[in-house]
Structure 1
Amino acid sequence: MQAPSFGGVKIPSGNGQTIRLSRGASLADFGDKVEVNPASLVQVLLHLGEMVTATQSLPDETLQLLGDELKYNVEVVSPEDEDRELLESFSIEFGEDAGTDEDLRPRPPVVTVMGHVDHGKTKLLDTIRSSNVVGGEAGGITQHIGAYQVGTEVDGEDRKITFIDTPGHEAFTAMRARGAQATDIAVLVVAADDGVKPQTAEAIDHAKAAEVPIVVAINKIDVEGADPQRVRAQLTEYGVVAEEFGGDVQCVEISALRGENLNSLLEAVVLTSDAALDLRANPEMEAQGLAIEAYLDRGRGSMATVLVQRGTLNVGDSIVCGDAYGRVRAMLDEHGTNVKSAEPSRPVQVLGLTNVPSAGDSFLVVKDDRVARQIAQQREARERFAQQSRSTRRVTIDTWKDALAEGERNELLLIVKGDMSGSVEALEESLSKIDVGGEEVDIRVIGRGVGAITQNDINLAASAGAIIVGFNVRPEGKNSELADRMGVDIRYYSVIYQAIDEIEAAVKGLLKPIYEEVQLGSAEIREVFKVPRVGNIAGSIVRGGTIRRNTKARLIREGIVVSENLNVDSLRRFKDDATEVREGFECGIGVGYNDVRIGDTIETYEMREKPRD
């Protein structure tokens, strides 16, 4: 058969031959598979109306188009299949217990607490583990995931239960769903005075989809209007039938605020686990499991909360988690105590990873650092190529509607950065699900990460035409000025629903006149002075703009917003009160917040009304 010719370039026909390519592969990759010069493939695509370079990552459709033209059957390998093949190349079996039945040992149940917002999930876990999570959360909503192991006594025997705390608001559907998939039993918290709500039904759906047993905690039995029997009747409508009504679901009436009947709830979890599940794992194999949460810690680097699902994780093990790898330098339990090993169902914080993995990433122990590095680097390269293949031209949120009207754009690209990987995942999931009212328009997240907004984020946004959404993070160093020069639009938020509402309003063209944040000045803290009856005063030098008394302020530490909604209560130059201090001058600043440290940045701003088109 004669080779087809494209502009004088002859390329042999594939005759239906199948070739496998990674998602985001380039023409160079295609050429390697079919032993053809990539420059020839560039001409083929040019003939087909596609102008690309030999090293550019291509979307699946372009690879399929090229394959059809050259009579090749192109099979784009999914990330999951590619990852499985990668592990098989290192003779690693992931997701299965090695050994025989005799090697399996009983393990504690892993429990997810689910339910409607403000029904008392966080308070329940607070009471169980005697700590307070609510105080540090914006808007009083649980925005991060944690895991904790508690002990109880059932029939004279000490038993352990692992709790995974998933957020309760509908915006965190993805996080809650992942929590259900990682767990054995779902504890459904329902307020006795409020009954079954939409998110309660949503939690039931997640638990049933994950095929996990449900234990119902009917909370707030001590408040006025509490009616536990009504709750049991409502749950019946959703297929959750209490034992009192002839079903197999245990319902326990509790008061998380007063700590009433919590032992009965824990006992119900253990009994349900014993009756419905055969929870066993092999503690002798190399550890495998799941990353529940991860973030960057000042001084200690990447901190990943992992749940060991099989095997035993030991200090000194070489592990790979997503595209992060490293040797376990230390492990901490829920109380911050160092532990040397973690058996199945044990959640621990791991120190020693090279970077921050994503919440939900699987981890596994490998034989040495070299293997861990190879697996992580191949995963990272695959993800980078896939992201590049999705990149397109640039835009800002203010001009996006105009570009759409002119036919220049049919999608809004976003880069999401946050202080915790769980928040990033939830925000990404929520933004991608915004209904923009037409099939011809799409919202797509092309990049995400944990930590301060970096130069790489800004470069990607500039080249791809993306908008950066910062959740509790700020640009590091001079990157804010770089973003201004490159025309990159950065949006800052501290509550996830504000981000969702504003992006949705922007793409629908429904934004009303709003208040815009205008930065006034920033100051670097050089010294901290303790003043009796006043608190800590930050001895600072103004690095940019002007610091004014009685303006709003925020405290930033290594690019992360430590405290929001502060106020410049006092401003002094030496011993004299000052109304304002300009760039380059030193001053003492009091913001009514005592946890100020040398090296922190105080950023002042004001809200100005700005009408939007």
Structure 2
Amino acid sequence: MGKKINKSSQNGYHHNNHFSNPRSKTKSTIVGGKYIYHGEVTVEELAGALNISSADILKYLLLNKGFYNINSTLDDEIIGEICLNYGFDFEKEDIVEADDFEHYKIEDKAEDLIERAPVVTIMGHVDHGKTTLIDTIRNSNIAAKEAGAITQEIGAYQKTINGKKITFIDTPGHEAFSAMRQRGAQVTDIVVLVVAADDGIMPQTVEAINHAKAANVPIIVAINKIDKPGANIDKVMSSLSKYDLLPEEWGGDTIVKPISAKQNIGVDELLENVLLVAEMRELKANPKRPASGTVIEASLDKKVGSKATLLIQNGTLHVGDYLVIGTCYCKVRRMTNEFNKPVNAATPSTPVSVTGIDGIPQAGDQFYCFHSEKEARAIALKRAQKLVNKQAKNEGVSILNLHDKLESGEITILNLIVKADTNGSLEAACSQLKKLQVDTVQLKIIHSAIGDVNEGDVILASASQAIIVAFNVHENSLALAKAKELNVEIRNYDIIYNMTEEITEAMKGHLKPTFIDVTYGHAEVLQLFKASKVGIICGSRVTDGTIKRTSKVKVYRKNNVIFEGNLASLKRGKDDVMSVKEGFECGIVIDGFNHDGDIEIGDIIESWGQEVEKK
């Protein structure tokens, strides 16, 4: 089981004592006729707590909700219905488990808080001078080392200006910025948007603006290359105002600074304004806490193995600390700064590189300290298992579930990304969408552009819980694959009326899904084993496709269906698994069809399910 985070132990930093007070093994109990629970609850666990047979609950679910088995996880609404049906009140405890540390909020003492360095991400169109600006700030000649003078990987660096530090993140593109946000990370305090004075606002500039706005991060604009022929600062400032970035000089609230990164003109003034915005935001952190933060980048090094650049966002990280990083665990064996110099401790807003990780985490994964390697390993394993379950049932925002998500409060605004084939089409589509009004639903177009739907659009949609509207355009193969991975819906239209009508109906909740049967795969029964607790186990080989643990099954004998039902278990060796692919052997137990004489060697088990028809 997880562990409840002990708030009192967080106020002062105690090395190797970051989480404490293990909870009991019981995640639910009956108190005074009330069912009290926390975390995920299965049918079997609920039945045990209520002292009701699993068969009775499964029967209730079959009649009212559909197919479940004793290992099925129940959502809060169904738990409440079952409790009320059997005469119990119910209450869910608001407890944050140790493996869910991203959602734990610690109230720091005011005297423990100190000012921290702002974290700045530099964004903009390719070749507008992002890396040259970082190069000038660091005086380290990064740009000359990079292939084609275009940034190839994320870097994190610190610079001291007038006695105060600024942490810079140099990203390979705004997609990386939103990819981290899509994984739940919010690392950036301020975005510096670099725009070339001789080139002006370009498509990637607009995308960068929209990515920053979607994250609610303040933008400072650096108009670069003012020393080049053809530089036109006024034209750039005029273009910025079209994207709600009205310069201060023109009565707005956007700081705009002309610079030449190459000639080091205006760079000091730009950095002073970064510190000014940071001061206004009152950025603070508690160095006495256990360290927590975010992965900026990770890679596999031939000499040291897996390593990651971590940004400390709160607390202090020490060599020897035990970390859970995403679904990996780590004992910090070595920690280096941006100059590859060893350090023993890292405070808030400091980027460091660490080694000793058991896997390769992803950019945007968050980390937290734990008191032992054993605990970190166990929590990392639990997080990995929960991630598999979450991915299996993850449901993004779609036209069909839009109304339910709005009603439940899971989303409060309908975010759209609009792509079209021409300027005229784009303007017409956006204009008609902005006119849509349904009750109190707010519609917001967070990004619009000409061209096919690309991978960056999908990442932004996932991070912002948005639907992509594609008008007279298609999606490339990378975008399709990423949309499937992240459960992002892309809706294609060629008639504006059809687009507005369908989205209006979706906001009202009037659209109904059409379901189709989908076959996932087949397995042939090769051997039969009898187990006292579960009955007949079918030793099988998957002959095509995939057998899915959560799917329905049909049993065929000589091409005739002899049984339809659900799987009770799916194993590879002794391990429970969620799926088994073609060519592998597995053990299958069929719920309700696991007695002597039910199934025979040579029978074919078909894994299938119902999915919403894509339109």
Corresponding residue for residue 328 of structure 2: 324
**Aligned residue identity for 1:161:** I
Partner of residue 304 from structure 2, selected from 300, 305, 308: 300
1:241 to 246, 257, 261: 246
Aligned pair in 2 of structure 1 residues 74, 362: CA closer, same or farther (>3 Å)? farther
Of 192, 198, 201, which aligns to 2:197? 192
Task: Tell me how far apart the structure 2 counterparts of residues 460 and 266 of structure 1 sit (CA, whole Å).
Answer: 60
Alignment of 1:149-188 (within 5 A): 149-152=158-161, 154=162, 158-169=163-174, 173-175=178-180, 181-188=186-193
CA distance in 2, matches of 1:340, 1:111: 24
Q: Which residue of 2 aligns with 1:352?
A: 356
Q: Is the 8 A contact 2:99 2:380 kept in 1?
A: no
Give 1:365's match in structure 2, choosing from 362, 369, 375. 369
Describe the superposition over 1:348-373 as per-residue Cα deviations: whole angstroms up to 9, x where unpaired.
Answer: 12222333334323322233334434
CA apart distance, 1:459: 13
The equivalent residue for 2:51 is: 35
Deviates more, 1:110-119 or 1:34-43: 34-43
Kindly indicate whether residue 175 of structure 2 is the aligned counterpart of residue 120 of structure 1.
no
Residue in 1 that maps onto 2:382: 378
Give the direction of change, closer, same or farther, for the CA distance of 1:60–1:135 in structure 2 (3 Å limit). Answer: farther
- Maintained 8 Å contact 2:143/2:150: no
Match of 1:311 among 312, 315, 325: 315
Secondary structure of residue in 1 paired with 2:168: strand
**Which residue in the other structure is 1:435 paired with?**
490
1:99 corresponds in structure 2 to: 109
- The answer to whether the Cα contact below 8 Å between 2:123 and 2:174 also exists between their aligned partners in 1 is no
Q: Is the 8 A contact 1:324 1:356 kept in 2?
A: yes
Q: Give the Cα–Cα distance (whole angstroms) in 1 for the partners of residues 257 and 185 of structure 2.
A: 20
SS at match of 2:70: coil
Pair 285,59 (structure 1): closer, same or farther in 2 beyond 3 Å: closer
Corresponding residue number in structure 2 for 1:229: 234
What letter matches 1:99 in structure 2? Answer: K
Preserved CA contact (<8 Å) 1:167 1:176: no
For the 8 Å contact 2:179–2:364, the answer to whether it is kept is: no
**Is the counterpart of residue 145 in structure 1 residue 154 in structure 2?**
yes
Secondary structure of the structure 2 residue equivalent to 1:380: helix
1:192–1:231 contact (8 Å) kept in structure 2? yes
Residue 547 of structure 2 aligns to a residue in which SS?
Answer: helix
Q: 1:224 to 1:95 in 2, by over 3 A?
A: farther
Per-residue deviation, 1:331: 1.0
- 3-state secondary structure, aligned to 2:388: helix
Query: Could you give the per-residue CA deviations for residues 110-138 of structure 1, whole angstroms, max 9, x where no partner exists?
Result: 1111234443334433554435479878x
Letter in 2 for 1:192: A
Counterpart amino acid of residue 269 in structure 1: V
Measure the CA separation in 1 of the matches of 2:160 and 2:489: 42
**1:289 deviation in Å?**
1.9
**What is the aligned partner in structure 1 of residue 454 from structure 2?**
none
**Other-structure match for 2:293:** 289
Q: Which residue of 2 aligns with 1:252?
A: 257
Q: How far apart are the structure 2 equivalents of 1:136 and 1:441?
A: 51
How big is the shift at 1:163?
0.8
In structure 1, what is the Cα distance between the partners aligned to 2:302 and 2:118? 33
1-structure distance, mates of 2:366, 2:256: 33
1:278 corresponds to: 282
Structure 1 residue 329 displacement after superposition: 0.9
Find the counterpart in structure 1 of residue 28 from structure 2.
none
Distance 2:543 2:347 in 1: 43
RMSD: 4.8
| Aligned-residue offset at 1:303 | 1.9
> Take 1:459 and 1:238, find their aligned partners in 2: how far apart are those partners?
56
**In the alignment, is the contact (CA less than 8 A) between 2:174 and 2:207 conserved in 1?**
no
What is the alpha-carbon distance in structure 2 between the residues aligned to residue 295 and residue 18 of structure 1?
47
- Inter-partner Cα distance in structure 2 for 1:178 and 1:388: 16
What is the distance in 1 between the residues matched to 2:234 and 2:35?
62
| Unaligned 5+ runs, structure 1 | 1-13, 392-421, 443-457, 467-481, 487-506, 510-613
Among 340, 346, 350, the residue aligned to 1:342: 346
Aligned partners of 2:543 and 2:582 also within 8 Å:
no
Displacement of 1:306 in angstroms is 1.4
Matched residue, 1:463: 547
* Equivalent residue letter for 1:345: S
Q: What code does the residue aligned with 2:46 have?
A: F
SS of match in other structure, 2:282: coil
In structure 2, give the amino acid aligned to 1:308: I
The one-letter amino acid paired with 2:346 is: A
- What's the secondary structure of 2:230's corresponding residue? coil
1:59-74 matches, within 5 Å, as none
**Per-residue deviation, 1:315:** 0.4
Identify the match of residue 120 of structure 2 among 111, 120, 123.
Answer: 111
Q: Which amino acid aligns with 1:463?
A: I
Offset at residue 278 of structure 1 (A): 2.2
Using a 3 Å threshold, how does the CA distance of structure 1 residues 460 and 380 change in structure 2: closer, same or farther? farther
Percent identity, aligned pairs only, is 41
Q: TM-score, normalised by structure 1?
A: 0.54
Cα deviation for residue 176 of structure 1 reads 6.4
C-alpha distance 310-255 of structure 1, shift in aligned 2 (>3 A): same
CA shift, 1:342, in A, is 0.7
Q: Which amino acid aligns with 1:352?
A: G
What letter is aligned with 2:199? D
Structure 1 pair 211/135, CA: closer, same or farther in 2 (3 Å)?
same
Closer, same or farther in 2 for the Cα pair 1:292/1:203, shift >3 Å? same
**Secondary structure of 1:384's aligned partner:** helix
Change (3 A) 1:354 1:309: same
CA apart distance, 1:220: 2.9
Asked if structure 2 preserves the Cα contact closer than 8 Å seen for 1:285 and 1:312, the reply is yes
1:533-584 deviations in Å (ceiling 9; x for gaps): xxxxxxxxxxxxxxxxxxxxxxxxxxxxxxxxxxxxxxxxxxxxxxxxxxxx
For residue 155 of structure 2, what is the amino acid of its counterpart?
G
**How many angstroms does 1:483 deviate by?**
7.6
> What is the one-letter code of the residue matched to 1:195?
G
* 2:108 corresponds to 1:53: no
Which stretches in structure 2 are left out of the alignment for 5+ residues? Answer: 1-30, 396-458, 464-478, 493-501, 503-510, 516-541, 551-579, 585-612
Deviation readout 1:284-340 (Å, 9 max, x if unpaired): 332222222333334533322211122221101122233322321111222322221
Taking the aligned partners of 1:291 and 1:465, their CA distance within structure 2 comes to 32
Q: Is 1:265 aligned to residue 270 of structure 2? A: yes
Tell whether the 8 Å contact from 2:185 to 2:366 is kept in structure 1 after alignment: no
Shift of 1:191: 2.2
Amino acid at match of 1:100: A
| Secondary structure in structure 1 of the residue aligned to 2:46 | helix
| Partner of residue 447, structure 1 | none
Say which SS state the counterpart of residue 241 (structure 1) adopts: coil
Contact 2:289 2:316 in 1 (8 A): yes
Aligned match of 2:17: none
State the number of aligned residues.
Answer: 403
Pair 1:218–1:87, CA change in 2 (3 A): same
Q: How far apart, CA to CA, are the structure 2 residues paired with 1:280 and 1:172? A: 22
Q: CA 1:283–1:47 in 2, change beyond 3 Å: closer, same or farther?
A: closer
Secondary structure of 1:30's match? helix
> CA, structure 1 residues 15+100, in 2 after alignment: closer, same or farther (shift >3 Å)?
closer
